[in-house]
Amino acid sequence: HTGQWTTNPISSAQFVTDCDWYELTAPARGSYAFRFGPGSDNAGTLGEPGVDGVLNMDVNTLWPHKQQLMIGMPPETHPVHKQVSYTIRGDGKTLADGQSGMWILGQADINVSVDGIKTLELQTQCGGRPTLFWANGVIVTRDGKEIPMSQLPLTFNNTRKPAESGKDYQGGPIKIQGIAYPKAIPAQPENHKQPSIVHVDLSAIQAVQFKCVLGSDYPMGDETQRRKTVAQRQVGKEARFLTVIEPFESQRVVVRAQAITPDKLRVELTDGRVQQIEIHNLQGDGHNITATITETRDGKQLRSETTEKK
């Protein structure tokens, strides 16, 4: 699992988060469902409403035989972006401060010395929808132990708390840049005109260092119906991919799909038909590419079609 598809700052793939990676042997099938109408949650997709019901989608990845497959969360148009300012104080002295635009990305990584500090003060100022959390906060002690901030005495001032500890403000998992933080501490101001302040009591431990992530939860709430991006990766000087995608409402008709070569695949259907699809001249300038489909049943040819050259 990785928090992002890539950390390349000039690639749009950086905005695909919460990525699960799989090593597979083809053929592999992933099954997905798109819901429309009552009970659906398509907020943020900008998609046109479809006929009420469920559209199922099978994605059969056939080539290469050895596959690296990624399933991640693409960005949607949920208005959760915000400008955040923060200050870390120890016994009244400013240890760190900064500002960051936070949406899907934009977390602030905190790492400050708290040697001799008895009270730590974490202050945030922002508006917008409630998504802000202190995550993965730990206090490093003089003997090298790391104590989670959630296990220390905490007091809150003007801090909006989720209904359930360990959940975001809409009851879903807390994720910052695609990483789950089930023990995150709320940081969203209750009144956005005033800062949220979290006091951490360090008096009972010999603290020397404080490390934490300040970030915005995304997506908010239940993730069950959020869209997913599916990607294959191949490393080398040349990459060839074959994928069969089958949309259907209730019953799939593809029993099995398999790549014979990088240019030829075989698809078995539920009614006994077998389709063999072959792509010609895929390498080159692209002017002579053609495809042939031959359909058989019980070894007898039913039909054959070839695309015209242009």
Q: How would you class 236 by CB atoms within 10 Å of its CB: exposed for 0-12, middle for 13-18, buried for 19 or more?
A: exposed
Q: For 143, what's the count of Cα atoms within 13 Å in the CB-facing half-sphere? A: 4
Return the SS3 of 190: coil
What is the chain's mean pLDDT, rounded? 94
Per-residue pLDDT at 310 exceeds 70: no
CA dist 87 and 299 (Å) reads 74
CA dist 97 and 89 (Å) reads 9
pLDDT confidence bin for 55, thresholds 50/70/90: very high
CA dist 297 and 90 (Å) reads 77
Quick one: which of 197, 200, 185, 198 has its CA closest to 118?
A: 200
CA dist 245 and 122 (Å) reads 50
Q: Is there a contact between 267 and 293 (Cβ–Cβ < 8 Å)?
A: no
Q: Is there a contact between 83 and 101 (Cβ–Cβ < 8 Å)?
A: yes
Q: What percent of the chain stands above pLDDT 90? A: 85
Q: How many CB atoms lie within 10 A of CB 64?
A: 19
Please enumerate, as own/partner, the contacts of 8-14 that have beta carbons within 8 Å and a separation of 24 or more: 14/105
pLDDT confidence bin for 51, thresholds 50/70/90: confident
Q: Is there a contact between 81 and 132 (Cβ–Cβ < 8 Å)?
A: no
Instruction: Compute the average pLDDT of residues 31-60.
Output: 85
Looking at residue 38, what is its pLDDT? 84
Looking at residue 37, what is its pLDDT? 86
Looking at residue 197, what is its pLDDT? 98
Q: How many CB atoms lie within 10 A of CB 2?
A: 16
Looking at residue 32, what is its pLDDT? 94
Check residues 36 and 145 and name the one with the higher pLDDT.
145
Chain segment 194-240, per-residue pLDDT in tens: 999 999 999 999 999 999 999 999 999 999 888 899 999 988 888 89
Q: Is there a contact between 70 and 230 (Cβ–Cβ < 8 Å)?
A: yes
Looking at residue 235, what is its pLDDT? 87
Sign of the CA dihedral running 261, 262, 263, 264:
positive
Check residues 43 and 239 and name the one with the higher pLDDT.
239
Chain segment 236-287, per-residue pLDDT in tens: 888 899 999 999 999 999 999 999 999 999 999 999 999 999 999 888 788 8
